[in-house]
């Protein structure tokens, strides 16, 4: 709805008008199959490779290292399952954190059920692991370390640079994967400098279309393809490429790269404004995780004594959209695994937390409306 105040950009983002325009042109004019050798096919192939070049440049990768996928979930699954398949003879130990996105956690649990050993590192009060934790967990049979770049619920940023450097210094090669779905577009990522081997990205988190993403695969890995049936995507992912979505993805990346610093400043200001307004209105609250070491667009708030699900409903009735955790867990009655890892399974914060996440079209004037409605809902729910 046009009158909805949307504060759930960590779940998905509205498409940028320029992205829609670029996709519309592609759908109208560039319908050729990129694998065809005639002119229409060559035009589509050109658009495909232009997009691959833009995406590669955004993370300092080689274009051949960019493989288009359907989004973050597929990219995470490829990174984890195909690394395990390739290196299973060398070892079956994997290191990760206790606050990974389900797209990482579920494939790892699948591998556990099939003979692999996964170490889930606990996080500190800020929702982070340390490079020392990762180093101490390494064994002779460790083949993969998968650490989320920035958490999708509380926004905590992991020490990716330090972990990458530490892994690069090991005598034996250990593959390093990071789920950068939330971080891409706001954080500066350099896969070479940070020694990242595998990286997952999704278009719909940066005002691009849904159903498209990419995985960066370091050329030295030579992972086997997950989908078979064609030569597309460097033989890593068979199937006709979705040119309109890829064109839209490219445009979204170009816009994000150009506006990155401006957006970071704006989102940080919106976060500070929200906290200041909560203080001004005298609303009791707590922040989950760290304010400083977090993604600028994600703010996890606990309102003591107020059920988060009921607060969300009250805000929804006021046409304000927030969330109570990962969008991939919507409708799930189980407690947030991220908050459980941060506290414990019986801590009240688990059922008293909402996530506010900022993005395109948000501005400071909207924060007043958000906080006023939070105050009204908290006052009502505290009495009932």
Q: Kindly list the catalytic residues.
A: 328
Interacting residues of 331 by C-beta distance below 8 A, sequence separation 6+? none
Query: How many CA atoms are closer than 13 Å to the CA of 157, on its beta-carbon side?
Result: 19
Interacting residues of 290 by C-beta distance below 8 A, sequence separation 6+? 126, 127, 128, 156
Helix (H, G, I), strand (E, B) or coil at 379: helix
Break the chain down into helix, strand, coil percent, rounded to 5. 45, 15, 40
- C-alpha distances (whole Å) from 151 to each of 64, 99, 184, 339, 384 are 28, 7, 12, 11, 33
| Whole-number Å distance between alpha carbons of 365 and 346 | 37
In the numeric block, which tokens belong to residue 182? 């939330």
| Whole-number Å distance between alpha carbons of 372 and 330 | 25
Pairing of strands 298-302, 353-357: antiparallel
| Whole-number Å distance between alpha carbons of 218 and 239 | 21
What are the backbone angles phi and psi of residue 192, rounded to the nearest 5°? -75, -50
Query: How many CA atoms are closer than 13 Å to the CA of 15, on its beta-carbon side?
Result: 20
């Amino acid at each position: 709805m046009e009158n909805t105040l949307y504060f759930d950009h960590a779940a998905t983002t509205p498409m940028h008008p320029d992205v829609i325009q670029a996709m519309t042109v592609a759908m109208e004019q560039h319908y050729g199959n990129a694998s065809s050798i005639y002119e229409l096919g060559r035009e589509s192939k050109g658009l495909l490779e232009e997009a691959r070049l833009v995406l590669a440049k955004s993370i300092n990768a080689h274009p051949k290292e960019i493989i288009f996928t359907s989004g973050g979930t597929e990219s995470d699954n490829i990174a984890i399952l195909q690394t395990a398949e390739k290196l299973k003879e060398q070892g079956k130990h994997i290191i990760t954190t206790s606050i990974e996105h389900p797209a990482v956690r579920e494939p790892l649990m699948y591998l556990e059920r099939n003979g692999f050993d996964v170490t889930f590192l606990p996080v500190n009060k800020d929702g982070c692991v340390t490079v020392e934790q990762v180093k101490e967990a390494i064994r002779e049979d460790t083949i993969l370390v998968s650490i989320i770049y920035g958490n999708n619920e509380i926004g905590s940023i992991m020490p990716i640079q330090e972990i990458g450097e530490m892994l690069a210094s090991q005598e034996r090669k250990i593959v390093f994967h990071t789920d950068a779905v939330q971080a891409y577009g706001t954080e500066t990522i350099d896969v070479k400098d940070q020694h990242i081997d595998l990286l997952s990205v999704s278009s719909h988190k940066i005002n691009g279309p849904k159903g498209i993403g990419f995985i960066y695969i370091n050329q030295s890995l030579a992972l086997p393809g997950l989908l078979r049936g064609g030569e597309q995507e460097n033989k890593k992912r068979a199937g006709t490429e979705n040119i309109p979505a890829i064109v839209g993805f490219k445009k979204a990346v170009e816009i994000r790269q150009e506006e990155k610093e401006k957006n970071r400043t704006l989102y940080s200001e919106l976060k500070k404004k929200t906290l200041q307004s909560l203080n001004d209105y005298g609303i009791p609250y707590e922040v989950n995780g760290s304010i400083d070491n977090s993604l600028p667009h994600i703010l996890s708030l606990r309102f003591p004594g107020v059920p988060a699900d009921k607060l969300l409903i009250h805000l929804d009735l006021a046409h304000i959209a927030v969330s109570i955790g990962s969008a991939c867990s919507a409708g799930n009655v189980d407690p947030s695994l991220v908050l459980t890892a941060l506290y414990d399974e019986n801590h009240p914060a688990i059922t008293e937390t909402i996530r506010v996440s900022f993005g395109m079209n948000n501005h400071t004037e909207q924060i007043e409306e958000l906080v006023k409605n939070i105050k009204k809902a908290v006052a009502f729910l505290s009495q009932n």
